[in-house]
Amino acid sequence: MAARDPARRHLSTTTLSCLAALVCLASLLFLFSFRSSLDRQPSRSSPRFLDRLHDPSERWWRAPCNYYDGAWVWDPDSVAPRYDMTCKEIFKGWNCIANHKSNGPDLLRWRWKPSSCDLPRIDPLRFLERYRNISIGFVGDSLNRNMFVSLVCMLRGASNQVKKWRPAGADRGFTFLSYNVTVAYHRTNLLVRYGRWSASSNASALESLGYKQGYRVDVDVPDQTWAEAPRFHDILIFNTGHWWLAPSKFDPVQSPMLFFEKGLPVLPHVSPEVGLDMALKHMVLYVERIGIDAVKFFRTQSPRHFEGGDWNKGGSCRRIQPLLPGQRK
């Protein structure tokens, strides 16, 4: 990631962001598919691979279910968590219980209940067995880092033979040696390459329009932090979104996003929303071309959860219960 995530500086984790990360992680874990070896043999199209993907013994495959259609329910009798606040991978600013968040312990008693089915509890040991010889890559901002950390903390509770390294340019990663399962996080704000831009003495189209400084965003060039990830990982989970509309970083007047495509500025100038659409289209094509055999997911954003201002302008996380449908922002 080219710039530090503002959420890292906020010393409390919100109820909403914690719960949203849990349901996204749970949904993805049950939708992932598998392969048989790191050299991609046998092929994903082989009967053996498809048998692993659609194991008839799994109840949750028998009746398709929309895991996103449901509600958070309070479960006073919830079982013990798979990991606690002592997991070293949890960033200090996001450790709800260690930071003495008023409702920190209560977060563990909320669970996601799909409307038309049950969501089985993740079994870390069984997960490692089923994902043997699989590499999983999370690519994105702090939302994906939360999911990466949660998965790693759960798996470390089931296997302590772990190699820590940075595969394919990842910010961090772990291989669970007894199972040859790799989980890595590639840190990127926008998915695409960007950096500071300043007007030069050689007048160009942007200078002629009055732009003096800003951020150059190449919508067709992947950020180098994950450019090799599709060649390495069997399963890829992408996210982006919040940073595209972050005035604390990309001020529309002082430091606007200036979009480039094929090395040339996009004119007339387009809004960040249009730039995001352009970037996503290019990145989908890139991943499909480079990661032919990989299984890909794109997770959506969680709602903004600061009230009374943004994270650096007096905003705080006041709510201690999940938002009801009519309270979504």
Identity of the residue numbered 258: L
pLDDT at 295 over 80: yes
The rounded percent of the chain whose pLDDT value lies above 90 is 45
Mean pLDDT for the stretch of residues 1-7: 37
Residue with tokens 């996601």, as numbered in its chain: 112
**What per-residue confidence (pLDDT) applies to 203?**
62
Confidence of residue 195 (pLDDT cuts 50, 70, 90): very high
Identity of the residue numbered 251: D
Confidence of residue 201 (pLDDT cuts 50, 70, 90): low
Please say whether the beta carbons of 293 and 43 come within 8 A.
yes
User: Residue 227: how many CB atoms within 10 A of its CB?
Assistant: 17
pLDDT at 61 over 60: no
pLDDT at 75 over 60: yes
Query: What does the mean pLDDT of the chain come to?
Result: 80
**What per-residue confidence (pLDDT) applies to 210?**
85
Strand partners, 237: 138, 297
Strand, coil or helix: 186:
strand
Please say whether the beta carbons of 155 and 29 come within 8 A.
no
Phi and psi, residue 144, nearest 5° = -75, -30
Phi and psi, residue 83, nearest 5° = -155, 170
Which tens digit of pLDDT belongs to each residue from 227-245? 999 999 999 999 999 899 8
Confidence of residue 11 (pLDDT cuts 50, 70, 90): very low
For residue 272, is the peptide bond before it cis, meaning its omega torsion is within 30 degrees of 0? no
Confidence of residue 306 (pLDDT cuts 50, 70, 90): confident
**CA nearest to 143, candidates 8, 294, 288:** 8
Would the CA dihedral through 187, 189, 192, 193 be positive or negative?
A: negative
Alpha helix locations (H) across the chain?
15-31, 47-53, 59-62, 124-130, 142-156, 205-208, 229-232, 272-290
pLDDT at 56 over 90: no
CA distance 236 to 26: 15
Mean pLDDT for the stretch of residues 119-145: 93
**What per-residue confidence (pLDDT) applies to 107?**
80
**What per-residue confidence (pLDDT) applies to 97?**
85
Assign residue 315 a region (left: φ > 0; alpha: ψ between -120 and 50; beta: otherwise). Answer: beta
CA distance 84 to 294: 32
